[in-house]
Amino acid sequence: MIKKCITLLLCASVMLSSMLFAGGKTETAPAEPRDISSMEEVDRNVSMELTFLTHKQGMEEEFSVYQKEFNKKYPNVKIVYEPIGDYKGNIEIRWTSNNWGDMCMIPHNFISETQLPQLFAPLGRVSDFDKKYEFASAFSIDGDVYGISSTGTAYGVLYNTAVLRDAGVTEIPKTPQAFFDALRKVRANTDAIPLYCNYGAGSRLADWEWNARGSLTGDANYKNKLIYMENPFSSGKPYNTVMRMLYDVVAEGLVEEDPATSTWDTCKNLLAQGKVAATVIGSWATADTQKTAENPSDIVFAAFPWNNDGKQYATIAADYAYAINKNISDERYQVARDYIIYLTEESGFSFDAGGTPIMKGESYPKTLAALQEANVTLVLDTPPHPDDIGLFDELNSESELYLGKYPEKARVVEAAMGQTNESFDAIMADWNARWTAAQVSIIGEDYASMNRYK
């Protein structure tokens, strides 16, 4: 019954998203362009309280430091952080109200570019931000930036290397075979859970999918190629390979006993305590887990177990982005924007959060040392051709596969657990059929011949 309830909750989340942004559209009007240069300059002694909705919990100390530093610019401005549990599941509900707050974090790969102006105020032009920020175009449309990424995230596997050593594993796995051999040794030689799949955490399953792009292919255009690709989920193709690994690790019983009740906090604590050997996740989780571990150096983030002719890659993407409610006043907007610029350029948040830097030229944090030592190449998705902006999201919505989210990945886990009668191959065939139908419906019968990313 618990497992069925979890599945229903996952599906309900997608249904809510569809109701809020059906077909990528909403009744809310787009944001009016804001010309900062024409606004009356805000008095630095202005008194106000700004609300900031955040997915980050347990960062009260850091938030307090940010407040003190920002008060050097605006002495009488108070930033009230509101951490929200199950952020992805609840933020869309908050967004249905015009008065949800002043600032928030936009989950990456969560809403389409066309929805950005419906919710958020433009912060500036891509052409200006791109000179100094990484991922400047990640939350933009028509050259306007609606969100500034707070940090960057690489995708791969987070290990407790002490558990691996106890199991007799001396090297971080670089191939699927070595990965499964390592997990089997953990099961055979220790009391630890080989891999925590985080099914109950929902969005953590989507982390597997990110590896199907840059990590397996080394191709920054792979996401764009999916738009025109024939049967991208067939055997031998990256998505099939990664999803098969997820299926097999669950089917072989190398994961937590009851995945339906798993949570990220539980995973983090067990990994830190040496009761879990590995989990597939973004690099952001490294710092969180190291803070909890008795020996932080045991917690190591590494590339997904795959290589191309001995060379390893890791998908990297913009993480949650700072954004401003399009409905707030010009005065509040200016102060909120100044706070976002402070967070990006001065606060060190990307390092506090354990991610890659946003300011170009800054050094990477120690949490990614293993990637650098292994000469892993980070692969960032190339923005689509101007004529293709929003097209991937249209296909994603039309097919109801919701790539980048988790319900269909939950379906893979459920089949592997024996909770359903579906086979893995049947699921992949269904994905192909739905993707193809969406391509034909939106692009046309000759969609494959129109591929501009060959």
How far apart, in whole angstroms, are the C-alpha atoms of residue 305 and residue 176?
6
In this predicted model, what pLDDT tens digit does every residue of 381-394 receive, in sequence order?
888 888 998 899 89
Asked whether the predicted pLDDT for residue 284 surpasses 90, the reply is no
- What is the pLDDT averaged over residues 226-234? 97
**pLDDT value of position 34:** 66
Asked whether the predicted pLDDT for residue 240 surpasses 70, the reply is yes
- Kindly report which listed range (12-21, 32-41, 194-203, 386-395) carries the lowest average pLDDT score: 12-21
Long-range residue pairs from 168-172, CB within 8 A, at least 24 positions apart, any chain: 172/300, 172/302, 172/370, 172/374
How far apart, in whole angstroms, are the C-alpha atoms of residue 403 and residue 351?
28
Domain spans in the chain, listed from the N-terminal domain onward? 19-151+319-358, 153-318+364-454
- Average pLDDT for the chain: 88
> 453: which residues sit within 8 A by CB, 6+ positions away?
221, 224, 225, 227, 228, 385
Query: Domain 19-151+319-358 is of which CATH architecture?
Result: 3-Layer(aba) Sandwich (3.40)
**pLDDT value of position 191:** 97
pLDDT band at 36 (very low <50, low <70, confident <90, very high): low
- Kindly report which listed range (13-27, 72-86, 314-328, 438-452) carries the lowest average pLDDT score: 13-27
- What is the pLDDT averaged over residues 22-36? 48
- Cα distances from 259 to residues 60, 249, 383, 415, in angstroms, run 30, 12, 35, 12
Asked whether the predicted pLDDT for residue 158 surpasses 50, the reply is yes
- What is the pLDDT averaged over residues 368-381? 87
Residue for token pair 């969180």: 288
Whether 2 and 260 have beta carbons less than 8 Å apart is answered as yes
Asked whether the predicted pLDDT for residue 142 surpasses 80, the reply is yes
CATH top class, domain 153-318+364-454: alpha beta
In this predicted model, what pLDDT tens digit does every residue of 169-222 receive, in sequence order?
999 999 999 999 999 999 999 999 999 998 876 667 888 999 999 999 999 999
**pLDDT value of position 341:** 97
DSSP conformation class of 214: I
Higher pLDDT, 76 or 371: 76
**pLDDT value of position 439:** 98
How far apart, in whole angstroms, are the C-alpha atoms of residue 359 and residue 129?
10
pLDDT band at 20 (very low <50, low <70, confident <90, very high): very low
Asked whether the predicted pLDDT for residue 26 surpasses 80, the reply is no
Asked whether the predicted pLDDT for residue 44 surpasses 90, the reply is yes
In this predicted model, what pLDDT tens digit does every residue of 412-433 receive, in sequence order?
999 999 999 999 999 999 999 9
- What is the pLDDT averaged over residues 314-321? 92
pLDDT band at 33 (very low <50, low <70, confident <90, very high): low
Q: Where are the beta strands (DSSP E) in 311-407?
A: 313-318, 321-324, 377-380
Asked whether the predicted pLDDT for residue 11 surpasses 80, the reply is no
Asked whether the predicted pLDDT for residue 27 surpasses 50, the reply is no
DSSP conformation class of 313: E
How far apart, in whole angstroms, are the C-alpha atoms of residue 391 and residue 218?
22
Residue type, 206: A
Asked whether the predicted pLDDT for residue 2 surpasses 60, the reply is no
Beta pairing partners, 321: 106, 149
Asked whether the predicted pLDDT for residue 29 surpasses 80, the reply is no
**pLDDT value of position 30:** 47
Q: Comparing 19-151+319-358 with 153-318+364-454, is the CATH topology the same?
A: yes
**pLDDT value of position 101:** 95
**pLDDT value of position 365:** 80
Residue type, 264: W
